[in-house]
């Protein structure tokens, strides 16, 4: 191969690599519009709901190749809302979520698989109470686009999974509280205005609170 052809090939490969990188965009979670809801059996009478908030996190999403996507986030256990202050305090205690021992649950993805046009499976590791387990979250990619006021580009997703609380060492009251926890995630992430900043370099104290728009 001649020197000129080698240079030309190098430039083509570099352009292709740059294009592939550009296709994957970085987002930060909108902590106002992202919520986690869970439900668990209460002695066979009902399945009450609780709610948690995401403290911070990032998302890298490639709409053309979902396998290049990734995410990492922290869930603030202290944000727990069961609709009653006494129940909140009890569930945050050492027998259950133990928020004093570890305030944040942490999730980091290991793979993303696309099933069809709008649906996929997110696989990753969830750390809760110092225990790490692999989890799968079937999800739908709802929409990527500008908000109605044009302030942000937003990617929206919905996911649902089930967890076994015993897997994370939460074994108290097995005769009155169910073992299986159903979890729903409604997530919105805002396109990062500084895409050159690698998501894993996001400072710990960064809060994903963008300029707000009315619903």
Q: Digits of tens for pLDDT over the chain (215 positions)?
A: 554 444 343 333 333 444 444 467 999 999 999 999 999 999 999 999 999 999 999 999 999 999 999 999 999 999 999 999 999 999 999 999 999 999 999 999 999 999 999 999 999 999 999 999 999 999 999 999 999 888 899 999 999 999 999 999 999 999 999 999 999 999 999 998 754 444 444 334 334 444 444 44
Give me the pLDDT at residue 194, please.
58
Give the pair of three-digit tokens for residue 47.
């399945």
Burial of 29 (0-12, 13-18, 19+ CB in 10 A): buried
Give me the pLDDT at residue 80, please.
98
Dihedral angle of Cα 88, 91, 94, 99, to the nearest 10 degrees: -60
pTM: 0.79
Which of 215, 195, 214 is closest to 59 using CA atoms? Answer: 195
Say how many residues make up the chain. 215
In the chain, which ranges are continuous DSSP H helix? 3-23, 85-91
**Is 181:163 a contact under the CB 8 Å cutoff?**
yes
| Distance from C-alpha of 149 to C-alpha of 212, rounded to nearest angstrom | 10
Which of 127, 142, 188, 137 is closest to 159 using CA atoms? Answer: 137
Give me the pLDDT at residue 1, please.
52
């Amino acid at each position: 191969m001649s020197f000129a052809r080698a240079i030309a090939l190098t430039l083509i490969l570099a352009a292709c690599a740059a294009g592939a990188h550009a296709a994957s965009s970085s987002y930060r979670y909108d902590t106002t519009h992202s919520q986690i809801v869970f439900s668990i059996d209460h002695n066979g009478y009902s399945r009450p709901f609780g709610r948690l908030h995401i403290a911070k996190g990032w998302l890298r999403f490639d709409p053309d190749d979902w396998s290049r996507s990734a995410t990492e986030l922290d869930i603030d256990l202290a944000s727990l809302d069961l609709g009653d202050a006494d129940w909140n305090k009890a569930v945050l205690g050492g027998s259950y979520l133990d928020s004093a021992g570890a305030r944040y649950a942490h999730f980091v993805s290991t793979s993303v698989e696309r099933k069809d046009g709008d649906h996929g499976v997110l696989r990753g590791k969830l750390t809760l109470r110092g225990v790490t387990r692999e989890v799968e979250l079937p999800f739908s990619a709802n929409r990527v686009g500008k908000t109605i006021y044009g302030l942000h580009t937003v990617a929206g997703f919905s996911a649902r999974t089930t967890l076994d609380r015993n897997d994370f060492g939460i074994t108290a009251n097995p005769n009155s509280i169910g073992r299986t926890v159903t979890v729903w995630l409604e997530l919105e992430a805002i396109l990062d205005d500084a895409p050159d900043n690698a998501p894993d370099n996001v400072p710990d104290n960064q809060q994903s609170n963008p300029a707000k728009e009315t619903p």
